[in-house]
Amino acid sequence: MGNVQNTPHRADVGVVDSSVQHAAHAHAAPTGFIRKYIFSLDHKVIGLQYYFLALASVFTGLILSVLMRIHLVWPEWAIPGIGIIKDEQYLGLLTLHGTFMVFFVLTTAPQSGFGNYFLPIQIGAADMAFPVLNMLSFWTTFAAFIVMLGAFFTVMPIAGWTSYPTLSALPNAGSLPWGQDLWLLSIALFCAASLMGALNFITTTLDLRCKGMSLWRMPLTCWTWFVTAILGLLAFGVLLSGGLLLLLDRNAGTSFFVPGGLVVNGVQQRHEGGSPLLWQHLFWFFGHPEVYIAILPGMGVASQLLSTFSRKPIFGYRAMVFAVMAIGLLGFMVWGHHMFMSGMSPYTAFAFSLMTMAIGVPSAIKTFNWLGTMWRGKIRFYTPMLFAIGFVSLFVSGGLSGPFLAQPTLDIPLHDTFFVVAHFHLIMGVAAIFGIFAATYYWFPKMFGRMMSESLGRLHFWFTFVGTYAIFMPMHYEGMAGRPRRYGSMVVAGGLFNRLAALMPLEKFISIAAFVTAAAQLIFVINLFWSMKKGEKAPVNPWEATTLEWTIPSPPPHDNFAGNTPVVNHGPYEYSVPGVERDYVMQTDPASVHAH
């Protein structure tokens, strides 16, 4: 973490009010390796631990998706060490791909990773409110990861990341022991860890803001981490209970999700009285807010970066905050749109559909404001900005297929087809990943004290941006043609899935695009690790940005502000202020620099 750690280093800009020095770090800098890097209480170390956990997971998920793409078009290929992938194994691949990506990447990196690292710094705090709880939440997440690997190496669960009962509840229906049980246990642990994290984020945001950092002066990243934490607090508890109930159904003879009178593989089941739809309600009550848990921090990052690199204040700051809140609130009222075809009362569809369409409004406000921020700007195209622009493009493309799926009428042909796969990959998958990439390139200098390579960064951007569209755009057409999702190969027992045989060239195109895009991620990995060692030394504020993390050394000292709690005098996005010499006003600049 660098040798500046023990050097008290005053911020080179900003006014420090000595009266608030009591807010110094709650715990002294550790010296031993284990307390410093393993069981650390420092939010920055914990943030990096989450980040590298997500990095390990994203490459696991990526390799699984490459195997899936191979199986879909070249099912006869024997993979070294694995052999020929069978259709049943394909279900295991998609289950674990979805699980690793949704939980251990999209939930972990943007919120727990970057949020942990930068929320305290951006609000001028020395650490999170509960450092021990913070450590505990990371190590619980890590335990969840290990248990999930256990599911991977015992019997792969095949019920999908949604794990609908009764398939997931009845072992002899295909959800064999160990795999499915470990999956549920891992998810339960993950939920518990996320609850701890959510409490910590909320308390930190409310209680630890430095003097002058009113809520309306918080960077939009902090707003999104804050709202995401509230969503997490309300959503993960529900999945936790659902997961435990399903474990009981599987192992303790209860029947929460299994009705009576079922015969599986010729064996009468002993359950009675449960409802498979109950699980879907519990799961999606979590599952839909989860989509926003994944994407909201990305929106915050995109806002921060578009403003910084366009050298313009964010367009409609308050509208952005209200939009985030509206998305968070509406996000809890729409879970039924995943269940239009489930056998749920058709009368509820109207309400769920209306609420879902309504989410389009705050989403459109955000897009409008991002474009408004770039409008008449002075745009600097550093790699983080490229990914922020990519985020906006993907958010638009993925978002606009939402209003199709939000209508129950159109869900009839489109539900559970590749149209849905295209939709959620573009928006909650790749757009959120672009948010993670943007954040990585943007904050890397702060986290590691060195700059990442711009040329490798650009190369990585172009391959990923074009590759993403090449993979996911054609899937819309496949879905419209009626290609169902979660079907292994399109080749069955020597006979083609003839109705869709014409799609085969497109499938091959998608697979090749996926291989190229996956390989291009090596550019990122090389850049990441090479720059940590060999990158150019980063100055305090390489992007000429305004928020508090850019007032302290790179990397920051143990307690962030070395006991000198900052005082904030300005909003977060004061760029190109007329009459001010520099084209940016730091949040800590004296109030006299720019009167409001």
Partner 1 sequence: MGLALLLVVWLITFVSTYFFIAHPSWMWLPPVATTYGPQIDSQFTYTYIAMGIVFVAAQVALGLFAWKYRDRGHAAAYYSHGNIRLEAVWTILTAILFVGLNLMGQHIWAQARFQGPSPGSEQVEITGMQFQWYFRYPGSDGKYGRTLAKLEDPSTGNALGIDPDDPAAKDDIVSSTLVLPVNRELDVTLKALDVIHDFFVPEFRFKQDAVPGLLIHMHFTPNRIGDYEIDCAELCGSGHYKMRAGVKVVSEADYQAFLKAPQQWLTEHPWNGPMSRGLMQESEAKPPAPALQLAMRHHQSQAENH
Which 555-594 positions form the footprint of partner 1 (CB under 8 A)? 575-578, 583
Write down the least CB distance from residue 8 to partner 1, Å.
36
Looking at the Cβ atoms of 153 and 350, the one nearer to partner 1 is 350
Do 586 and 327 meet the contact criterion of CB atoms below 8 Å apart? no
- Residue 167: burial class (beta carbons within 10 Å; 0-12, 13-18, 19+): middle
Stretch that binds partner 1, among 4-12, 189-197, 336-344, 523-531 (CB under 8 A): 336-344
φ, ψ of residue 16 in degrees (nearest 5): -110, 130
Site for partner 1 in 478-517 (CB under 8 A): 478, 480-482, 484, 486-489, 492-499, 502-503, 506
Assess 417 for contact with partner 1 (CB under 8 A).
yes
Write down the least CB distance from residue 466 to partner 1, Å.
7
Looking at the Cβ atoms of 411 and 549, the one nearer to partner 1 is 411
Cα–Cα distance between 249 and 257 in angstroms, integer? Answer: 7
The single-letter DSSP state of residue 34 is: I
Write down the least CB distance from residue 566 to partner 1, Å.
23
Write down the least CB distance from residue 502 to partner 1, Å.
4
Number of residues located near partner 1, criterion CB under 8 A: 118
φ, ψ of residue 492 in degrees (nearest 5): -120, 125
- Residue 290: burial class (beta carbons within 10 Å; 0-12, 13-18, 19+): buried
Q: Which of 277, 459, 520, 532 binds partner 1 (CB under 8 A)?
A: 277
Assess 477 for contact with partner 1 (CB under 8 A).
yes
Site for partner 1 in 134-173 (CB under 8 A): 158-160, 164, 166-167, 170, 173
Assess 315 for contact with partner 1 (CB under 8 A).
yes
Cα–Cα distance between 296 and 227 in angstroms, integer? Answer: 8
Q: Is 375 helix (H, G, I), strand (E, B) or coil?
A: coil
The dihedral formed by the CA atoms of 47, 49, 51 and 57, expressed in degrees to the nearest 10:
-150
The single-letter DSSP state of residue 537 is: B
Looking at the Cβ atoms of 8 and 177, the one nearer to partner 1 is 177
Write down the least CB distance from residue 248 to partner 1, Å.
18
Assess 349 for contact with partner 1 (CB under 8 A).
yes
Assess 12 for contact with partner 1 (CB under 8 A).
no
- Residue 133: burial class (beta carbons within 10 Å; 0-12, 13-18, 19+): middle
Cα–Cα distance between 591 and 19 in angstroms, integer? Answer: 18
Assess 396 for contact with partner 1 (CB under 8 A).
yes
Site for partner 1 in 78-137 (CB under 8 A): 87-88, 90-91
Assess 595 for contact with partner 1 (CB under 8 A).
no
Cα–Cα distance between 240 and 298 in angstroms, integer? Answer: 25
Give the Cα-Cα-Cα angle 532, 534, 539 (nearest 5 degrees): 75
Do 417 and 500 meet the contact criterion of CB atoms below 8 Å apart? no
Stretch that binds partner 1, among 99-107, 122-130, 183-191, 309-317 (CB under 8 A): 309-317
By rule CB under 8 A, what string of x and - marks binding of each residue 40-59 to partner 1? --------------------
Write down the least CB distance from residue 518 to partner 1, Å.
19
Structure tokens at 592: 């006299």
Cα–Cα distance between 442 and 541 in angstroms, integer? Answer: 11
Assess 530 for contact with partner 1 (CB under 8 A).
no
Q: Which of 347, 533, 534, 595 binds partner 1 (CB under 8 A)?
A: 347
Site for partner 1 in 425-464 (CB under 8 A): 458, 462
Residue 321 C-alpha from the chain's centroid: 19
